[in-house]
């Protein structure tokens, strides 16, 4: 059989699969560790906000921070810069994850993607319906989307605690579902929580997109060149009234999946030639004459990975260990003393969010998956049982980052925002605990079955 071979004789399909699994493994490792960092940050925020130093907690995030260029000055609170500026990097990584998954991951094949897409949609609709059934007042109903989101870092982090007893395809299914969940969350933010749009702001957004596409067309591979167009898009979305973090999603989705530079040689062949040339010049020329070949070597090294993978690899640790924990520290500090659950409104919001995350996500994910397998012609992925799908449904109820983010867009009322955040924290904690308990039972039952099969 004729196969496309690399110079080393490795089939192209095998090389693509190995690269995809290596990227996935690195992604899962970062998400697993960052989930623990997120948990510590959230706990620190809760303790700080309910300690004798609670006033300093709230004062810190309202600290004004300004930037000025000539006579133009932009001043906002530290809380704004974290939620509206730094979180753009988070959404940029989300956009690139979506782009990569559509190109070569779990969403690259419609047949492969149908089941996680359907499960994710079920995991959005059912929690929203549960929440709305418990909140009839218009002001409370604004939070219908709060319990529809899944936090990838927390969910994968809990799954990592269960060890290798959980099949790899369960992790892939959960990751695909969470990424689709992110797509839906971004669409919800864009269409339901952007308010009345000022369409003049779309002009700088369009200019930013055209600049990005133009830079890609002429082969500019340095990520720094795209900072100014990205800032222009961010300012444009801010002017429209849409949430400015959407600039990160747009920029991530148009990040190329192949090198933007046209090269006569393959990147690895170019690297091999440059290393050989550099070794020869190092032996025959002065050190100051090596600057040009070293620069060429850095450029060739950069082109080995496509931009969507390279930029994500650089940004992902910063987002996972910096931006997201900072977001958790700034937003998870709910003062329990200031919450009054005696009224029907706050009580309904908190209970609705909690129940929707714990029960709604589970019913939506498992129920729609069963319907798709039973009537939709889908099949469960290899080595994924219904017990594994049940585990995915439980872990999908860990909302945290995105749920809190949506809550802040949904509620202007301080009281309702506080109880919504408390509901997210409580629901996510219950979902994580149930997921750990069920996951241990699931892993143990698999080991017993495997031992019986070997005997």
3-class DSSP state for residue 69?
A: strand
Strand partners, 5: 11
3-class DSSP state for residue 398?
A: coil
pLDDT of residue 233: 92
Tell me if 166 sits within 8 A of 159, measured CB to CB.
yes
pLDDT of residue 135: 94
Tell me if 106 sits within 8 A of 113, measured CB to CB.
yes
pLDDT of residue 74: 78
pLDDT of residue 6: 47
Tell me if 302 sits within 8 A of 287, measured CB to CB.
no
Burial (CB count <10 Å: 0-12, 13-18, 19+), residue 210? exposed
Neighbours of 262 (CB within 10 A): 6
Tell me if 99 sits within 8 A of 253, measured CB to CB.
yes
Neighbours of 81 (CB within 10 A): 17
Strand partners, 51: none
Neighbours of 278 (CB within 10 A): 16
Q: For residue 329, how many C-alpha atoms fall within 13 Å in the half-sphere facing its CB?
A: 15
Tell me if 236 sits within 8 A of 208, measured CB to CB.
yes
pLDDT of residue 296: 52
pLDDT of residue 278: 57
CA distance 394 to 358: 7
Strand partners, 64: 77
Tell me if 30 sits within 8 A of 36, measured CB to CB.
no
Q: Is the dihedral of CA 45, 47, 50, 54 positive or negative?
A: negative
Helices (H), 193-306: 202-217, 227-240, 246-253, 267-284, 291-302
Per-residue pLDDT of the chain (455 residues; tens, 9 = 90+): 444 444 444 555 555 555 555 555 555 556 667 777 888 888 898 899 888 998 999 899 989 888 777 777 778 889 899 988 888 998 888 888 888 877 777 677 777 789 999 999 999 999 999 999 999 899 999 999 999 989 877 888 888 788 778 888 888 888 889 888 888 988 898 888 876 678 888 899 999 999 999 988 887 777 788 889 999 999 998 888 778 888 888 898 888 877 655 555 555 555 555 555 556 555 555 555 555 555 555 555 555 567 777 788 888 888 888 888 898 898 888 777 767 777 768 889 999 999 999 999 999 999 999 999 998 888 888 888 999 999 999 999 999 888 999 999 999 888 899 899 999 999 999 999 999 999 999 988 888 777 776 66
- Lookup result for tokens 């219904």: 386
The secondary structure of 348-374 as a DSSP string is HHHHHHHHIIIIIHHHHHHHHHHHHHH
Tell me if 309 sits within 8 A of 342, measured CB to CB.
no
Tell me if 251 sits within 8 A of 92, measured CB to CB.
yes
Burial (CB count <10 Å: 0-12, 13-18, 19+), residue 283? exposed
- Lookup result for tokens 């339901």: 192
């Amino acid at each position: 059989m004729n196969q496309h071979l690399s110079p080393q004789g490795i089939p192209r399909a095998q090389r693509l699969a190995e690269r995809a699994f290596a990227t996935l493994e690195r992604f899962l490792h970062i998400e697993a560790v960052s989930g623990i960092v997120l948990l510590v940050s959230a706990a620190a925020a809760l303790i700080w906000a309910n300690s004798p130093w609670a006033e300093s907690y709230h004062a810190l995030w309202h600290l004004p921070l300004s930037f000025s260029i000539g006579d133009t000055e932009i001043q906002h609170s530290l809380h704004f810069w974290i939620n509206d500026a730094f979180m753009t990097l988070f959404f940029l990584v989300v956009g690139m994850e979506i782009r990569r998954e559509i190109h070569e991951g779990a969403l690259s094949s419609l047949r492969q993607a149908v089941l996680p897409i359907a499960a994710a949609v079920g995991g959005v609709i059912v929690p929203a319906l549960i929440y709305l059934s418990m909140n009839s007042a218009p002001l409370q109903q604004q939070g219908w989307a709060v319990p529809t989101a899944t936090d990838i870092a927390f969910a994968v982090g809990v799954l990592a605690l269960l060890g290798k007893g959980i099949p790899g395809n369960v992790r892939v299914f959960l990751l695909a579902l969470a990424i689709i969940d992110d797509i839906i969350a971004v669409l919800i933010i864009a269409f339901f929580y952007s308010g009345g749009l000022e369409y003049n702001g779309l002009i700088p957004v369009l200019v930013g997109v055209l600049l990005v596409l133009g830079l890609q067309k002429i082969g500019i591979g340095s990520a720094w060149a795209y900072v100014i167009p990205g800032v222009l898009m961010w300012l444009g979305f801010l002017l429209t009234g849409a949430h400015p973090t959407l600039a990160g999603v747009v920029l991530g989705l148009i990040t190329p999946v192949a090198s933007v530079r046209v090269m006569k040689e393959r990147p690895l062949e170019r690297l091999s030639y440059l290393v050989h040339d550099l070794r020869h010049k190092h032996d025959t020329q002065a050190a100051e004459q090596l600057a040009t070949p070293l620069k060429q070597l850095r450029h060739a090294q950069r082109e080995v990975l496509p931009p969507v993978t390279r930029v994500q690899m650089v940004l992902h640790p910063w987002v996972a260990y910096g931006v997201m924990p900072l977001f958790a520290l700034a937003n998870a500090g709910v003062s329990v003393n200031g919450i009054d659950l005696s009224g029907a409104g706050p009580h309904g919001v908190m209970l609705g969010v909690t129940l929707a995350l714990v029960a709604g996500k589970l019913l939506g994910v498992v129920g729609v998956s069963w319907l798709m397998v039973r009537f939709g012609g889908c099949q469960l992925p290899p080595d994924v049982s219904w017990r594994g799908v049940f585990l995915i449904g439980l872990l999908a109820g860990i909302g945290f980052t995105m749920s809190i983010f949506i809550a802040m867009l949904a509620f202007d009322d301080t009281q309702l925002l506080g109880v919504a955040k408390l509901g997210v924290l409580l629901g996510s904690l219950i979902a994580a605990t149930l997921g750990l308990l069920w996951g241990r039972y699931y892993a143990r039952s698999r080991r017993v079955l495997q031992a019986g099969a070997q005997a």
